[in-house]
Structures are given as structure tokens and as C-alpha cells.
């Protein structure tokens, strides 16, 4: 699926090109379907029209008849066609995203059973710059589109501006998508390679907002020393913001790892960056069906 966010063009064009090339023909153990998720948002070149589509797939929201915004209705229709969540006709969803932040090849998983840990480990083995982000801890009933199938992954490549295509980003997204499909084929025909015992992931636990002035306007930028950095460590005393009057603002918290640094999509909520903790998952003790 591409175009879940209407101004992230890479996934849209990859889905269309994959469909043209009949990518599914390369695989014997499953059939492949395609979706351009939010056509209205794509036409408007906006992330979304009313609300973020990729926050609309909680079971409670899908069943809430009072939610009638553009994306809420769209979510219900996608859930009917590819789900329904809890009893899905689709086994696996790959949802393609981009970021203006340097997220490299960010593989977001919302389940940590053995299958998904092996998938993430496989992607780390075969792709050059993978970071695995676990959102499994964040919520029981997830709000992502990919959560309507029992299995899935969100692939997010950056940095790339919104509303732009760059071949390097397109190619990384294509490689990650094909690697996911390769993994599923290998899983289906019982031919998975061996994996390391542990999967290192990053787990979001908080975020930092931009400093604001008396008018609630943003009054500082992310510090230039952090721009373009992929998952840098931040320690107490490190510069974190540069105010528009030129003064540095220093970080005053516990040591952390940063992600989504200066992500354009988060300016509406004045979020400047997210904070991560490394979490290691054992493939030895992972459950086969979480």
C-alpha cells in the first residue's frame, strides 16, 4: 500500500510501478494486491484531508459510526476491502512511507512475535541501513493501516522532502519491499535462513516539542548539529535547539536516542523530534503467535 499519506510520493509510484511490472508474478506461495490508499489527499498533495489516515484503524474507531470524516470513512472502506480487522482476508500488509528526517531504512513493526522478529532480522541481514522500530509496546489495538491484517510492516525511508521523488529513496523503498516479499516466500516454503538470537530495535517513549514564544509561535529551530543525523545519541548539555536570535538551547534530560528529527509532518503538533530507547528482543524466547 502506498499513499496512506498523500504527500509521500515514493510509495505511490512504487505501488503503481509494481502493479505495471506484475511484481506478484515473481512469487509462488502467495498472491499480491495493491492499494493507493488516500487518493483525495494525494490530489491535494497533503498528508491527509481531515485526520491522519494512519491513525484511523483502531478497532473501536472502525466500529464507531459517529466518526464520519473523510479518512474515518476511508479507513472503514479499506477495512472492509482488505480486512476486516480481527478476521482479515489479507494475511500481510506492507505500508510504504517516507520521512523528511534521516530515518534511513526504518522498519516499523507493531507485533513482536517470532514471525515479525524474524522478518525484521531478515531485513537487517539483506539490506544495508536498516533500523527496526518497535511500536508494539505503545498500544494494544494499533491505529496503523497495516494493523488490519494479522501481520504487517511499515517501511519508512528518509530523508526526502514531502511532495518529491528521488530515485535513491525510491530504490531503497523498492529493495525493502522486495525483501519483505522474499521473506514471506521463504517463510511459506519453509526455507528461512538462520537468524541471530537477538534483534536490536529502537522503541519510542517520548517526544520533544519546539520552544515557543508568548504568541505560541515556534521561536527556535532544531540545532544545526542534529540536522540530517540518523538516530544520534543526545546527552545532557548537548545543544538541541538554536533560537532565532542565535542562542543555543542545551538538552537538560537523561541520555537518549533521537528519531524523526525535524520531521515536517509533525510541525502541526510542534513536535521537533522523538526519543527512543534501544530494546533487544530474543528470537529464542519469542512466541510463535503473539
Cβ proximity to its own copies: between 118 and 262 the closer is 262
For residue 28, the minimal CB distance to its own copies (Å) is: 23
Which of residues 154 and 160 has its CB atom nearest to its own copies in the complex? Answer: 160
- Cβ proximity to its own copies: between 53 and 149 the closer is 53
How far apart (Å, rounded) are the C-alpha atoms in residues 79 and 136? 20
Q: What are phi and psi of 207, to 5 degrees?
A: -145, 165
For 15-30, letters b (16+ CB in 10 Å) and e give beebeeeebeeeeeee
Residue 42 Cβ vs its own copies, minimum distance, rounded to whole Å: 11
Q: Per the structure block, which three cell numbers stand in for 266?
A: 509533525
Kind and range of the H or E run holding 105: strand 104-109
Shortest Å, Cβ 69 to its own copies:
16
- Shortest Å distance, C-beta 198 to its own copies: 35
- Nearer to its own copies among residue 164 and residue 250 (C-beta): 164
Taking the C-alpha atoms of residue 274 and residue 209, their distance in angstroms, rounded to an integer, is 9
| Alpha-carbon gap, residue 239 to 213, rounded angstroms | 19
Interface residue list for its own copies (CB under 8 A): 9, 13-14, 16-17, 20-21, 45-46, 100, 159-168, 170, 213, 217-219, 221-224, 227, 242, 244-245, 262, 264-265, 267-268
Amino acid at each position: 500500500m502506498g499513499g496512506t499519506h498523500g504527500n509521500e510520493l515514493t510509495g505511490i509510484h512504487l505501488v503503481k510501478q509494481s502493479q505495471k511490472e506484475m511484481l506478484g508474478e515473481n512469487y509462488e506461495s502467495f498472491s499480491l494486491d495493491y492499494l493507493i490508499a488516500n487518493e483525495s489527499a494525494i490530489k491535494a498533495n497533503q498528508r491527509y484531508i481531515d485526520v491522519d489516515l494512519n491513525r484511523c484503524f483502531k478497532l473501536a474507531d472502525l466500529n464507531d459510526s459517529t466518526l464520519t470524516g473523510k479518512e474515518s470513512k476511508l479507513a472503514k472502506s479499506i477495512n472492509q476491502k482488505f480486512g476486516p480487522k480481527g478476521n482479515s482476508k489479507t494475511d500481510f500488509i506492507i505500508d510504504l512511507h517516507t520521512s523528511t528526517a534521516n530515518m534511513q531504512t526504518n522498519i516499523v513493526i507493531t507485533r513482536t512475535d517470532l514471525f515479525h522478529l524474524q522478518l525484521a532480522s531478515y531485513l537487517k541481514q539483506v539490506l544495508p541501513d536498516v533500523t527496526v522500530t518497535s511500536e508494539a509496546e505503545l498500544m494494544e489495538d494499533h491505529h496503523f493501516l497495516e494493523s488490519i491484517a494479522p501481520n504487517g510492516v511499515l517501511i519508512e525511508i528518509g530523508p526526502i522532502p514531502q511532495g518529491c521523488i528521488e530515485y535513491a529513496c525510491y530504490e531503497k523503498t523498492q529493495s525493502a519491499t522486495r525483501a519483505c516479499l522474499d521473506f514471506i516466500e521463504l517463510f511459506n516454503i519453509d526455507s528461512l535462513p538462520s537468524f541471530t538470537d537477538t534483534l536490536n530495535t529502537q522503541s519510542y517513549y517520548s517526544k520533544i516539542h519546539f520552544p515557543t514564544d508568548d504568541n505560541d509561535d515556534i521561536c527556535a529551530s532544531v540545532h544545526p548539529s542534529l540536522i540530517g543525523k540518523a538516530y544520534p545519541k543526545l546527552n545532557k548539555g548537548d545543544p538541541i535547539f538554536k533560537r532565532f536570535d542565535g542562542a543555543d538551547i542545551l538538552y537538560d534530560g537523561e541520555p537518549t536516542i533521537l528519531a524523526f528529527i525535524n520531521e515536517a509532518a509533525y510541525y502541526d503538533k510542534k513536535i521537533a523530534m522523538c526519543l527512543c530507547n534501544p530494546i533487544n528482543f530474543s528470537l529464542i524466547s519469542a512466541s510463535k503467535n503473539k
